[in-house]
Structure 1
Amino acid sequence: MKLSVVILNYNVRYFLEQCLISVQKAIENCEAEIIVVDNDSKDGSCEMVKTLFPAVTLIENKANVGFSKANNQAVAVAKGEYVCILNPDTAVSEDSFTEAIKYSEKTNNIGALGVYLMDGTGNFLPESKRNLPTPKVSLLKLLGFTQKYYANHLLENSSGKAEVLVGAYMLLKRSVYNEVGGFDEDYFMYGEDIDLSYKITKAGYQNHYLGNTTVLHYKGESTQKNAVYFERFYGAMQIFYKKHFNKSVLLESSVSAGVALAKKTHKIFPEKKIKKSTTLARSYFFTENIELLEKLASKTATVFQMVSKNMHSQIVLTDSLLVFDAEYISYKEIFKLMKQLKGKGNVFRIRPSGCNFIIGSDQSDEKGGVVVF
């Protein structure tokens, strides 16, 4: 078997459904399996998987065992030559896995591979490619200086070496994953991907970033720098430095002082939320299914104009609600349109193939929402 796609789920039933639909489409021409690990969700996620995706291997944990342990559980039963660690609040392009495997197979000494991650507004997520967070770089990030934290030497659409990747999408050989011991279970929900990336490079491999295929990730790296964020970041970095750097009183004191300063700075200069547009001038549905359009219009009390995927260039699409029917237009095409139409006051929603809901997110630090119709 060529590929095992591993998805850890926790109470995101509708996002998981879309993720699975997109993954199934992307592995149609690949010998692959899908493994879902559920960390004791209470929202019907497991029932949905059993009913709609009987071919998926489902591991049902009776407690939330965290990110690291759950993914390690899945990889332990995986059969693929490659494994892809994938978040449930993602949707993948139809070529995501084939392009990633093709790149990996032609790249010598490759460790893990990350791809272009985009949020629900069509914007690139910089955590797709990062540098090693040394104590100095981490302190600067806590204070809002992210230039050295992200791998800005690589353009978004280019490809090349990147020291640290994000756990929302990481593809690597299962043998490499097992060689470095997988995710470190001392981490619960932050820092695991940094640690794994670093262990891979310490083992002599080189991590890479691939910018020619896109994955939609609704919940990007949080930009809400509240007290909880700082404590989680500090806690994860403490574990990381203790394991991989020469830990000293000076280092721990410096990081602790940096966290305190960042908290204080945030209180004095709180981050301003970008105001969302409260009024959308028009609503468009990219579909050829009139019945579907009428159902959604009735549920949302919205007047939709049907749009052909070949006609959108002839319409001025600004300050509009844009709903994409993934049964009519591919995810690759949807992502291309989102990139083209971002920053113009537009709001994006997707109706996954065969589903009675639309899904989307208007800020990268929010989980997003679902409308069932």
Structure 2
Amino acid sequence: MDLSVVIVNYQTFELTRNTINSIFEYSYPFSYEILVVDNASTDDSLSKLQDYFKDKVTFIASKENNGFAAGNNQALRIAKGRYVLLLNSDTIVWENTLEDIYNYMEKHTDVGASGCRVLLENGDLDKACKRSFPNVKNSFFRLFHIPTNSKDDNYNLDDLPDDEIYEIDCLTGAFMFMRAEALNEAGLLDETFFMYGEDIDLCYRIKKAGWKIIYYGESKITHLKGASSKKQKNKLIYEFYRAMYIYYKKHHASESSFLVNIVVYIGIAVLCILKLFLNLFKKKS
């Protein structure tokens, strides 16, 4: 098996169906399998997907929802491909994207993971598809929307072209095309992260294991993620800031002083509380 595509479904029948169909729409010069993990959906999305795709897709039914990382790991443990693709259930894969990245990684054996240009529904770039690793300084500039001319502090790599190919630090979990060998060396997704942050953590470990991470901007997918103006669930806000805490504690706390760590932890807590408070006044969409 050349490629294993892993998709986590949680009560998104139509979105997941459209994502899978966007893969089946094209033919490929490699063999592949699609593994769909249902994260204990409480609607009938799993049964509807099983009826729709029948024996074309392998389904794994989780008994409980332990998060995005845990869901992906269930499929990764049985994936047969030399490459694995983590793909969000709310994406549309464009023609030639999988083939182009597959061919690139076949030619560049030092690349552990590749991403692509991820476009939002309105055509704008999803900035999470090419990032630097977060640290205290660049996170401060980003969280408080402070402009900076320093490349070292440019978390979203806005100074780099969107349509070219180059090495970066971090991809988005919406599309991570990984060499199985690199994943085996780095380890599976850290299930301490419920959602958010697990992609950054995995990229960090892949690079630490000596592999390159490439942004392949010549190929694209569409990511139908929710607009920022929509009212968010408090659970998602909490998990976003919890992921910040987990990542910092795991990779940076030991390198920083006690005082810096306290300031960072308090800052994350304050931002989380503020975001939850402001969310109360947002209208549902």
Shorter-normalised TM range = 0.7 to 0.9
Give 1:167's aligned residue. Answer: 173
1:135 partner letter: V
Q: CA deviation at 1:184?
A: 0.6
Identity of aligned residues (%): 37
1:1-373 to 2 correspondence within 5 Å? 1-54=1-54, 55-145=56-146, 148-219=154-225, 231-247=238-254, 248-259=257-268, 262=271
Q: CA deviation at 1:60?
A: 0.5
CA distance in 2, matches of 1:187, 1:44: 26
2:85 partner letter: C
Give 1:324's aligned residue. Answer: none
Cα RMSD (Å):
2.7
CA distance in 2, matches of 1:200, 1:267: 33
- Provide, for residues 27-51 of structure 1, a one-character-per-residue CA deviation record: whole Å limited to 9, x for no partner: 5443110000000112322112211
CA distance in 2, matches of 1:46, 1:267: 32
- Seen in structure 2, the aligned counterparts of structure 1 residues 205 and 28 have a Cα distance that, compared at 3 Å, is closer
CA distance in 1, matches of 2:84, 2:120: 23
1:132–1:198 contact (8 Å) kept in structure 2: yes
Q: CA deviation at 1:123?
A: 1.4
Q: CA deviation at 1:180?
A: 0.9
2:180 partner letter: R
1:208 partner letter: I
- Seen in structure 2, the aligned counterparts of structure 1 residues 223 and 251 have a Cα distance that, compared at 3 Å, is farther
CA distance in 2, matches of 1:174, 1:267: 39
1:35 partner letter: L
SS of the counterpart of 1:53? helix
CA distance in 2, matches of 1:268, 1:185: 28
Unpaired runs of at least 5, structure 2: 149-153
CA distance in 2, matches of 1:110, 1:73: 24
Q: CA deviation at 1:267?
A: 9.9
Unpaired runs of at least 5, structure 1: 274-365, 367-373
2:78 partner letter: V
Q: CA deviation at 1:269?
A: 9.8
2:121–2:223 contact (8 Å) kept in structure 1: yes
SS of the counterpart of 1:63? coil
CA distance in 2, matches of 1:221, 1:201: 31
1:191 partner letter: G
- Seen in structure 2, the aligned counterparts of structure 1 residues 239 and 266 have a Cα distance that, compared at 3 Å, is closer
- Provide, for residues 259-289 of structure 1, a one-character-per-residue CA deviation record: whole Å limited to 9, x for no partner: 366469879999xx9xxxxxxxxxxxxxxxx
Greater shift in the superposed pair: 141-150 or 89-98:
141-150
Greater share of helix residues, 1 or 2?
2
SS of the counterpart of 2:8? strand
- Seen in structure 2, the aligned counterparts of structure 1 residues 224 and 192 have a Cα distance that, compared at 3 Å, is farther
What's the TM-score once normalised by structure 1's chain length? Answer: 0.67
1:13–1:43 contact (8 Å) kept in structure 2: no
1:63 partner letter: E
The higher radius of gyration belongs to 1
2:23 partner letter: V
CA distance in 2, matches of 1:30, 1:164: 26
2:245–2:268 contact (8 Å) kept in structure 1: no
1:252 partner letter: N
Q: CA deviation at 1:146?
A: 7.4
1:154–1:160 contact (8 Å) kept in structure 2: no
CA distance in 1, matches of 2:27, 2:41: 26
SS of the counterpart of 2:217? strand
CA distance in 2, matches of 1:51, 1:228: 31
CA distance in 2, matches of 1:268, 1:189: 21
- Seen in structure 2, the aligned counterparts of structure 1 residues 173 and 15 have a Cα distance that, compared at 3 Å, is same
CA distance in 1, matches of 2:259, 2:197: 22
1:17 partner letter: R
SS of the counterpart of 2:137? helix
Q: CA deviation at 1:79?
A: 0.8
- Seen in structure 2, the aligned counterparts of structure 1 residues 42 and 249 have a Cα distance that, compared at 3 Å, is same
1:137 partner letter: N
